[in-house]
Amino acid sequence: MKTFRVKPLIHWIGLFLPFCFFSLLFNSSFAQQVLDRIVAVVGDQIILDSELKFQIDLYVNQMGITLKNEEGKNQLKRNLLEQAINNKLLLIAAKEDTTIQVSSQEVEDAVKEQLKKVKSELTQEAFEAQLKAEGLTESELKKKYREQIKNQMMIDRLVASKLSKVSVSTKEVKDFYQTYKDSIPDQPEAVKLSHILLEIKPSAKTLDSLKKRAEKVWELAKKGEDFAQLAFLYSDDPSAKDGGDLGFFKKGDMIPKFEEVAFALKPGEISQVVQTEFGYHIIKAEEKKDGQLRAGHILILVRPSPEDSSQVEELADSLYRQLLEGKDFGDLAKKFSDDEESKKMGGELGWYPVDQMTPEFKEGVKDLEIGKISPPLKSQFGIHILKVLDRREQRKLSLEDDWDTIKDMVRRKKTNELIAKWVEKLREKTYVEIRL
């Protein structure tokens, strides 16, 4: 009997660029870039021993395995180093391909989303304490995220462009199933859901209040009050503890609107109040050197007030009552949901494996029968009302019932084989030296 396990694409195109940001934040040796030895050279890029150790720890934790002997540890180390080299090769190819473009705004949006995800796992105090323990500011952490996210996006797009025409025949699906049917993973228990998402956002009143607060601080700064002291007293950014100091940065390190204003300042100058997606900034240029700028800033963070939260909670309760009284879920989702994609389909999200749901969703649907609606529940994205559209139990896959699923498995298998061949060709024309 042959065994089958499709290796997800992320193992080819994402493993070595640490997209597990929560783990990145807590790996101090990686974050602080301590001096260590080079374990591989790929073209003009290097792989450090600390990076490889980080990936080993991440893999062991994510897979829940224990390495019991030295031979197993060494084999895993060799395997992960090979994947790291493959990833570097893909990155080099992506950078050489002039058709692969990633905009600053795309990167910034992804950084914002990932940082939000990290912060949702911690209190603000715990997040700041961890940054301090690792010798990082939030701005420095964002810099790391920006570089990694951009690299990952470039690789994703390069691979997608090469593999967009991968096709699968009917015979390939049938042959695949006959070969691997005894080892194909079961279809997991899953729930088909719709939801109404209500984001908790700052109201116009809150935004006006925050802007006025920023303007008052700006007036104090323009009158000559100590900028560092004002940052310490009023800024919502973690850099407040350092008097707002962001250190030196170059163009591309910060979000575009912030950079545009900051680099236009002369040393000693203070900007007007600048609004970005993070809030209201007051920027002071300190020093320019070698194309870099050292600046400080005061940030009045844009965040909902308790009153804003209460209003959204009241709306969620009102919608829930209307649904219990018989109002159509799809109609209310189209009218009120802040999830722009799902609202077009009346809130429908599709199928979700139960074991992959967030704790909030899993708890919210665990006792719901088909057609029933959950009370409002909170997640990092806002307040949700869920409706169970269908359920399916864990079971073996069959050609009759799961043709599309099995076809997708074949497509992924072919994809990985093609990537392996392509990477091998890249390796033949690129200098690679392993120093393990």
Q: Classify domain 9-177+409-434 by CATH architecture.
A: Orthogonal Bundle (1.10)
Place of tokens 């490889």: 52
- The H or E element spanning position 151 is helix 138-163
Domains 190-203+305-392 and 205-301 share a fold: yes
pLDDT at 62: 65
- CA-closest candidate to residue 202, choices 309, 334, 342, 323: 309
The CATH code belonging to domain 205-301 is: 3.10.50.40
CB 20 within 8 Å of CB 62 = yes
Structural domain spans, the chain: 9-177+409-434, 190-203+305-392, 205-301
Contacts of 288-295 with C-beta under 8 Å, sequence gap 24+, read 289/248, 291/250, 291/251, 292/248, 292/249, 292/250, 293/248, 293/249, 293/250, 293/262, 293/263, 294/245, 294/246, 294/247, 294/248, 294/249, 295/246, 295/249, 295/262, 295/265
Percentage of the residues of the chain whose pLDDT score is greater than 90: 54
Q: Classify domain 190-203+305-392 by CATH architecture.
A: Roll (3.10)
Please state the pTM of the whole predicted model.
0.62
Amino acid at 215: E
pLDDT in tens, 80-135: 999 899 999 999 999 999 899 998 888 888 888 888 777 766 777 777 777 777 67
Q: How confident is the model at residue 24 (pLDDT cuts 50, 70, 90)?
A: very low
pLDDT at 31: 38
Segment 262-278 shows an average pLDDT of 93
